Structure 1
């Protein structure tokens, strides 16, 4: 199959043009550039590709930098020693990664890769037929995940998780020999950087096959290597129910948008909730906190996970369909910290969906009224000081919080009733 036929069928006009420009880069006769790996795999599956990986036989970095500048992209190094660089075209949502060959030729380079479905290449030149030294295309068509060799998983143990992520995202079955290699190499995961593990787990936990994949991770002994104190016997059943409730919440477009939102790289809010549900099965708070550190979560994600794993569960019975939009928003705000995540987590752990619609309405109201994570007070500090004679710092914030509580209770409905309420309560 000719690569340029695939371009015309699956890629955007912008991507096709940029690839044609790369094909025309000036270079020596013995210098070649290949499209490799997952980019080729996705093209063969008819998927729309946005991230492209390239390998070159001799250093083409100067030509790539010139091309990026002229084409309106942003070039930067990923690893200068290995000649790895990246070009971003944010205006098109496209990413191009480049690196030198890791072996004497493209065939040997592909054999060093993780799985046969990723050991594929097309040369950007006149010879544009598929390069497939390990039968990756046949494995792709049959849905089989096969390692490129007996040592590749030991070379980079993160590839074990990448294999399970491929199962989670595509449903590819793990070939028996490859499964045995995963079991043997699993203990080496301890030498993999935590942020890399977190990214792969984040994609697994965000997939439709999350529960099936976690079951396989337990079966192959991988989850035990990552979380030694995990209580595996109850995990799959609990997360199966949790995942089913997440699907029920996604029926509401506003909730699905929140669940899809990226909290950090490769970790959308949905995956973060699954992380919390998973970490609850560790033996104690100390293990949970140590896991936060090991996986290099951002400060924001740590705060959310701490709230979900170690905080008290919410009681959403306070929801009512007979309440104003602002009062509904204040009810959600009162669940702070991390009120959105805490509410979604609580709902996902319930056995029934009787409150889902009300909760979706309350969350929508909160998002309409909040600014920078807070709902504005009906009375500012100056107004309260003028009315009460209090000085700055003399409990102004406490009175504002009491006013919000009175709004939730229905005692206050607007600014005027807030003023009247404050006059009476302050005199008392």
Structure 2
């Protein structure tokens, strides 16, 4: 570190503490890492712990996934690993990466790289580099451009990553324009690291993200999806989401989020629906039981995306968004499909968006037991998440109103529990199965059985469970009305 870039005295104490943490973390894995380093040295090659592994070690949170770089090419790396690693995989071989497992640690060893984009294609062109310095310079951010050489534990930090780690700032090794020009996904990664680490982006990085946002169009939907998922699952997703909107990046792949910024909330409790949405996401995070619940967070983010299309101003000046949950569910499904999310994840998020308003009105005493059964049946396995989303959506600053909404939802959950205990509400189904329907009506498998089953389920939802005799009477009554029996 040059004298000009040396930190203040107070920072030296902080960095020394950070380095002590790093040493402790590295010692935890060093028997494996050092042993691997010695194998590479004996084979005439270098091995360095790099990237997120060094960053996380300095933060005192090194995990069990370790990243290394080397001058050895993949074939040579394979020869070094064989007979030592417990298992080996080559799924990243085209990018110069060989994976291995040893003593519970997942190791990825990548040949020095000097990859770049041709400014047109969507995928990087991988060119092997020749030195550690060249490899570190091509990395996305300075906090990921540090290395620990093995087995001697020599620390290399040519771009001031340690200073930036202490200052909690995200900066690029080369100019932001060069870095983002090589890989535009790095702009989204900057927002992701801001969310994960609670760091701020350097003003030059923020400026480049704004000026080059359109370059994100060169990146495949799958790569954008994966980075966005990590961002939303970060410790502070709100910071990351604000960066996406403020820089214009959200407009490139999630324009519905930016669109919310223009819509005024009907209760005037926030300056716009965008701010309300960010509050709901923050609330949803606080309601999680253990780790990130992506489905819940995504539903919180998209629950009001139908408002811009349904905005109406009444004669009294009040703003309304009638049926925005229906429109929002349709928009959610389309957007998540465009982002290449799996169908099952998309279906869950879409269902939560469609259901998020169902609760309102319960406090007016309008719900029968039938309505409660339908609420549970429509939510299905999503009911626990729907509970959390509905509670997260209560962002009113009126304390009395907030307390009343919370009490109403407490009452609904208590009512659900009571009815569930009486009726096995978690598995609402007809009182006669398909075999019983076919036997009683004398019909073969086919559409008639499906229609009869649906009719009996509606009765079950409306009136609760029926005994066998009563269910058979109702089925025959329906069959006669349908002209199926005399």
Shift of 1:56: 0.5
- Residues 358, 23 of structure 1: CA spacing in aligned structure 2 closer, same or farther, 3 A cutoff? farther
Q: CA deviation at 1:156?
A: 0.7
2:436 aligned with 1:383 = yes
The TM-score with structure 2 as length reference comes to 0.69
The equivalent of 1:241 in structure 2 is 279
**Does the residue aligned with 1:148 lie in a helix, a strand or coil?**
coil
Indicate the larger mover: 169-178 or 217-226: 217-226
How many angstroms does 1:289 deviate by?
5.7
Aligned to 2:217: 190
Where in structure 2 are there 5+ consecutive unaligned residues? 1-15, 114-128, 263-271, 310-326, 396-404, 478-486
Cα distance, 1:391 vs. partner? 3.6
Alignment check: 8 A CA contact 2:216 2:252 kept: yes
Q: Which runs of 5+ in 1 are unaligned?
A: 251-255, 262-267
Aligned match of 1:221 = 248
Partner Cα distance (1:280, 1:219) in 2:
21
Partner-residue secondary structure (3-state), 2:299: helix
Q: TM-score, normalised by structure 1?
A: 0.77
Q: CA deviation at 1:197?
A: 1.2
In the alignment, the residues of structure 2 paired with residue 424 and residue 168 of structure 1 have an alpha-carbon distance, to the nearest angstrom, of 60
Say if 1:158 and 1:197, in contact at 8 Å, map to a contact too. Answer: yes
**1:139 paired residue number:** 164
Q: Which has the higher contact order (CA 8 A, sep 6+)?
A: 1
CA distance in 2, matches of 1:410, 1:37: 61
CA shift for structure 1 position 159: 0.9
CA distance in 2, matches of 1:43, 1:408: 56
Tell me the secondary structure at the aligned position of residue 53 of structure 2. helix
Q: Deviations over 1:182-237 (max 9, x none)?
A: 22222211101111111221122223422233223222222233345631333531
Deviates further, 116-125 or 307-316 = 307-316
* Structure 1, 302-311 or 195-204: larger mean CA deviation: 302-311
Aligned to 1:423: 472
Is contact 1:211–1:236 with CA below 8 Å preserved after alignment? Answer: no
One of 349, 352, 359 as aligned partner of 2:393: 349
Cα distance 1:359–1:298, how it changes in 2: closer, same or farther (>3 A)? farther
The one of 176, 196, 199 equivalent to 1:169 is: 196
Q: Deviations over 1:77-114 (max 9, x none)?
A: 3133x42222356x93x432221112331112111111
Q: Distance in 2 between matches of 1:22 and 1:309?
A: 50
2:151 to 101, 125, 148: 125
Choose 36-45 or 169-178, whichever is displaced more. 169-178
The alignment yields a C-alpha RMSD, in angstroms, of: 4.1
Among candidates 222, 225, 230, match of residue 203 of structure 1: 230
**Which residue is equivalent to 1:295?**
339
Partner of 2:446: 393
1:296 is displaced (CA, Å) by: 1.4
Distance in 1, Cα, partners of 2:360 & 2:458: 16
Equivalent residue, structure 2, for 1:79: 93
CA shift in 2, pair 1:281/1:181, >3 Å: farther
Per the alignment, residue 131 of structure 2 pairs with 105
Q: After superposition, what is the alpha-carbon deviation per residue over 1:28-74, rounded to whole angstroms, capped at 9, x for unaligned?
A: 56410111011100001110312211110122644546636644224
Match of 2:49 among 35, 44, 59: 35
In structure 1, distance between residues paired with 2:108 and 2:308: 38
Return the offset for 1:313.
4.3
Residue of structure 1 equivalent to 2:32: 18
